[in-house]
Amino acid sequence: MNIVVCVKVTPSTAAKIKVGASGVSIDKQGVEYEINPYDAFAIEAALQHVEANGGEVTLLSLGAEGSTKDIRNGLAMGAVKAVHLTDDNYELRDSFSVAKALADELKSLQWDAIFFGKQAVDSDNYQVPSMVSALLELPVANVCSTAEFRDGKFRAIRAVEGGTEIVELSAKCCISFTKGPKEPRFPTIPNIMKAKKKPLDQKAAPAVENRVKVTKLELPPPRPAGRIVGEGPEAAKELARLLREEAKVI
């Protein structure tokens, strides 16, 4: 079974965010990038599949030209090749524009299933998997912790409000992943060396007009200064009073 995993290279979650000169995207100075953590879960899930059922994992990423080294980390985890659609202004694309570019590229790739992370930790849209599935007319299961392949079908486990759902999908499908039972593997040094020689097909991402457009990016307003109510359990009574009488939240 061949699986394409769609990955995005995003700022590390430890990064402090500053607004860049354009006023619509971040200042990249000093920001470390990495494969979106949820996409790393998807890569791990895909690798486990091909280890159990045969086949290979291909990465598909839309992002800045400079993100090649981070994509190679995904190859070092065990993917055999990567397609890198380059666009230095990828941050300004809306989710439809990303989904359309990915879906068009997927039409020319060989795959049995398409895996994603449930959301990218930069734009937080969590829409690309559903949109790609709609564009390719495939079934989708989002926010899955695991997806087992059995008798030609995927059985995916996903958390929904109020419980857990087990859904069944035909083999040709889209699945987006959240944290699963196994942490994504760390690339070993020999695998990092091997990854340097794995095929990485780089080409310009097709232009797709945005349907929604970011016109401004700003930092959230600073929170008004708070106060220390007191020390130790003696302060609990005053805290409860403040929450009732001053903040009126209980």
Residue 207 binds other proteins (CB under 8 A)? no
Half-sphere exposure of 166 (CA within 13 A, CB side): 4
3-state secondary structure of 126: coil
| Size, binding site for other proteins by CB under 8 A | 85
- Pick from 189, 204, 207, 247: which binds other proteins (CB under 8 A)? 247
* Stretch of 48-56, 71-79, 108-116, 172-180 lying at the interface with other proteins (CB under 8 A): 172-180
14 CB neighbour count, 10 Å cutoff: 8
Total residues belonging to the chain: 250
- Cβ at position 151, least distance to other proteins in Å: 13
Least Cβ distance, residue 50 to other proteins (angstroms): 23
Token readout for 250 is 């209980």
Q: Is 171 in the site for other proteins (CB under 8 A)?
A: no
Indicate which single residue of 79, 85, 140, 147 sits in contact with other proteins (rule: CB under 8 A): 140
Max CA-CA distance within the chain?
Answer: 67
At its nearest, how many Å lie between other proteins and the CB of residue 79?
21
- Subset of 34-93 contacting other proteins (CB under 8 A): 37-38
> DSSP states of 60-96 as a string?
EEEE-GGGHHHHHHHHHHT--EEEEEE-TTGGG--HH
Distance CA 196, CA 125 (A): 31
Candidates 65-73, 142-150, 186-194, 196-204 — which segment interacts with other proteins by CB under 8 A? 142-150
- Report, in Å, the least distance between residue 83 CB and other proteins: 22
Q: How far, rounded to the nearest angstrom, does the alpha carbon of residue 59 sit from its chain's CA centroid?
A: 13
Q: Which two tokens stand for residue 199?
A: 């095929």
Find all residues with CB under 8 Å of 21, minimum gap 6, and list them: 27
- Does position 20 interact with other proteins (CB under 8 A)? The reply is no
List the structure tokens of 49: 């599949």
CB of 30 to other proteins, least distance (A): 14
Name beta bridge partners: 184: none
Pick the stretch among 1-9, 65-73, 81-89, 225-233 that binds other proteins (CB under 8 A).
Answer: 225-233
Of residues 95-134, which lie at the interface with other proteins (CB under 8 A)? 95-96, 99, 121-131, 133-134
Handedness of CA 95, 111, 61, 104 (dihedral sign): negative
30 binds other proteins (CB under 8 A): no
The reply on whether position 22 binds other proteins by CB under 8 A is no
Binding of other proteins by 138 (CB under 8 A): yes
Among 107, 152, 161, 204, binds other proteins (CB under 8 A): 161
